[in-house]
Amino acid sequence: MPRAADTTTADAADWGAILFGLGLVLLCLVVYYISQPNRTNPYLHFVLQAQSWLDGQTSIPTPGYQDVMPILDSAGQSTGRGIIPFPPLPAWVLLPFVAVWHVSTNEQLLATIFAAVDVGISYWMLGKLPVRRSVRLSTSIFLGLGSVLWYAAAIGTTWFWAHIVALGCLLLSIGLALSVDRDAAEPCPPTDAIAAIRKMRWPGGWWSVVLLGALGISGELLVVLAGAGTPVAWLTVLGVAMCAPAAALAVVVAGRTGVLAPFAVAVVVVAGVPALFIAAAQSATLIEVVDALLAAAIVALWWLSRRNGAAVDRALASFWAAVSAPESVQVAAGIFFGLAVTSRLTILFGFPFLILVGGGGTWLRRGILAGAGAAVPILTLLIVTYATSGHLFNPAYDYLYHLEVGYPLGYNSDWSITDLRYIPQNLVIMLFQAPQIMPDMRGVYPGQGEPVCVVNTARGLFDAGCPLAMPNAIGMSILLTSPAYLVAPFAWLPARLRRLDRATVGATIAVLGIAVVNLMHFSQGWVQFGYRFSNDFAPFALILVALGANRIRRFRLFLVLVAASVAINFWGVMWGTTLGW
> Tens digit of pLDDT for each residue in 458-489?
899 999 899 999 999 999 999 999 999 999 99
Q: Of 291, 293, 271, which is closest to residue 280 (Cα–Cα)?
A: 291
Residue 1, pLDDT score:
45
Residue 215, pLDDT score:
92
Residue 7, pLDDT score:
52
Sequence-distant (6+) residues with CB within 8 A of 3 are none
Bridge partners (DSSP) listed for residue 437: 469
Residue 44, pLDDT score:
92
Average pLDDT of the chain, as a whole number: 91
> Do the Cβ atoms of 575 and 493 come closer than 8 Å?
no
Q: Of 81, 82, 78, 80, which is closest to residue 68 (Cα–Cα)?
A: 82
Domains of the chain, residue spans: 206-397
Alpha helices per DSSP H over 394-537: 396-404, 423-431, 478-481, 502-520
- Range name among 44-48, 199-203, 309-313 with the lowest pLDDT average: 309-313
> Tens digit of pLDDT for each residue in 59-84?
999 998 889 999 998 888 889 999 99
Classify 72 as helix, strand or coil. Answer: strand
Alpha helices per DSSP H over 61-189: 89-101, 107-126, 133-146, 149-155, 158-179
Classify 410 as helix, strand or coil. Answer: coil
Give the β-pairing of 436-437 and 78-83.
unpaired
Bridge partners (DSSP) listed for residue 436: 470
CA angle at residue 533 from 404 to 154, to 5 degrees?
A: 95
Q: How far apart are CA 278 and CA 281, in angstroms?
A: 5
Q: How far apart are CA 371 and CA 515, in angstroms?
A: 21
Q: Which strands make up the sheet holding 78-83, listed edge to edge?
A: 60-61, 78-83, 69-72
Kind and range of the H or E run holding 572: helix 555-579
Give the DSSP per-residue string, 315-326.
HHHHHHHHHHSH
Classify 25 as helix, strand or coil. Answer: helix
| CB neighbours of residue 113 within 10 Å | 17
pLDDT above 70: residue 26: yes
> Sign of dihedral through CA atoms 365, 369, 375, 377?
negative
